[in-house]
Structure 1
């Protein structure tokens, strides 16, 4: 569920809860249905923002220089790590 569809659910829920005369749809409590739709929309907005947020990344760059005993050259080693959430 994306932010646009979540806002749509909030709008439809608010219309059902506040704007339409109760009893227009028989055997259905429009106010409760409106509150449920608004709650689902708010939950959808929150989840969309949480999943769309950039992940925390930490990059470690390590550089070591050491002498290679086999031929006497200097070797440089680079190591990078990325951590997720």
Structure 2
């Protein structure tokens, strides 16, 4: 689940918990909203830890070693 999905879960849970006064038989909408908000927060935490782990810094420059010796300036090699 991405960042957008987590935010949508939190928003939907908050709407169900705080902005509605519906009564459904067999379903507690307040508890359902709280569960959605908790799942969204857990998703945000997991997304943040995975995104932090992906930020591995690689060196920007690499050293090139010429194993064939000198090349001519016109682009052609002498022996190959």
TM-score per shorter chain, which class? 0.5 to 0.7
The Cα shift of 1:58 comes to: 9.0
SS at match of 2:36: helix
> Could you list the runs of 5+ residues in structure 2 that have no partner in the other structure?
60-80
Q: Please state which structure has a larger fraction of its residues in strand.
A: 1
Q: In the TM superposition, what whole-angstrom CA distance separates every residue of 1:6-51 from its partner, at most 9, and x where no partner exists?
A: 000000000111111041x221100100000000000001100100
Alignment gaps of 5+ in structure 1? 60-85
SS in 1 for 2:21: coil
Q: Higher helix share goes to which structure?
A: 2
Greater RCO, CA 8 A, separation 6+: 2
Alignment of 1:26-65 (within 5 A): 26-53=25-52, 54-55=55-56
Task: Report how many residues are paired.
Answer: 57
